[in-house]
């Protein structure tokens, strides 16, 4: 596991917001369709571990954007259960088929009152979105972990300033990274 945080908790900076970017947990390699692939036992365990990690950081989402694929839905369910998270959840087909542009568009229209938003999607979108958002001025250990790869169930926590509508390249500071 990679992770870093001074003091063990993450909070918005100066009235800013938190964005959590997560790649779905380990899924079965085959199903009747790619969309129908479900999590393996390891995937369920890793997602539950990620949920406990987020809870330990105090970084629980108030709004979650989830691809409609079975594996992303199951990832969110395991994270929410283990973290005790209760959030408004949006399942979006565009997050299954779309890339970074679709993810950014979904983030930009989140309720302006939401303090912590979580994106759960697929690679390469999750990794690309993380690199797209990184302003290069975050926690060095967390950035280093993120740059070493973005495996199944990887999670990056960003601090952002401005509104969700203002999300753009280099809009976030990496404060924590977790990978199973």
Please return the burial class of 55, using the count of CB atoms within 10 Å of its CB with bins 0-12, 13-18 and 19+: middle
Residue 164 lies in a domain: yes
Q: How far apart are the first and last CA of the chain?
A: 5
CA angle 52–144–76, rounded 5-degree value: 30
Angstrom CA distances, 52 to 1, 100, 137, stand at 13, 27, 26
What is the chain's pLDDT, residue by residue, as a tens digit (180 residues)?
444 443 345 554 444 799 999 999 999 999 999 999 999 999 999 999 999 999 999 999 999 999 999 999 999 999 999 999 999 999 999 999 999 999 999 999 999 999 999 999 999 999 999 999 999 898 999 999 998 989 999 999 999 988 999 999 999 999 999 999
Q: CATH number of the domain at 159, please.
A: 3.40.50.1240
Q: What is the pLDDT of residue 66?
A: 98
List all residues 6 or more positions away from 81 whose beta carbon is below 8 Å from its beta carbon: 48, 51
Q: What is the pLDDT of residue 14?
A: 43
Q: What is the pLDDT of residue 161?
A: 84
Domain of 74, in residue numbers: 17-178
Per the document, the length of the chain is 180
Residue 3 lies in a domain: no
Domain count, the chain: 1
Q: What is the pLDDT of residue 100?
A: 96
Residue 8 lies in a domain: no
Residue 149 lies in a domain: yes
Residue 143 lies in a domain: yes
Residue 6 lies in a domain: no
Residue 95 lies in a domain: yes
pTM attached to this predicted model: 0.92
Q: What is the pLDDT of residue 6?
A: 33
Residue 152 lies in a domain: yes
Q: What is the pLDDT of residue 1?
A: 43
């Amino acid at each position: 596991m990679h992770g870093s945080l001074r003091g063990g908790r993450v909070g918005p900076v100066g009235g800013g917001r938190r964005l959590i970017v997560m790649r779905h947990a380990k899924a079965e390699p085959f199903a009747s369709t790619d969309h129908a692939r479900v999590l393996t036992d390891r995937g369920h365990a890793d997602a539950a571990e990620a949920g406990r990690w987020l809870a330990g950081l105090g970084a629980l989402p108030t709004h979650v954007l989830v691809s409609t694929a079975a594996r992303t839905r199951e990832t969110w369910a395991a994270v929410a259960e283990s973290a005790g998270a209760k959030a408004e959840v949006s399942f979006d087909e565009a997050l299954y088929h779309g890339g970074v542009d679709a993810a950014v568009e979904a983030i930009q229209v989140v309720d302006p009152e939401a303090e912590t938003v979580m994106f759960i999607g697929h690679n390469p979108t999750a990794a690309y979105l993380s690199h797209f958002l990184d302003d290069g001025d975050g926690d060095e250990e967390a950035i280093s972990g993120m740059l070493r790869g973005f495996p199944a169930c990887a999670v990056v926590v960003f601090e952002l300033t401005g509104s969700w509508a203002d999300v753009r390249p280099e809009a976030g500071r990496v404060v924590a990274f977790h990978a199973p």
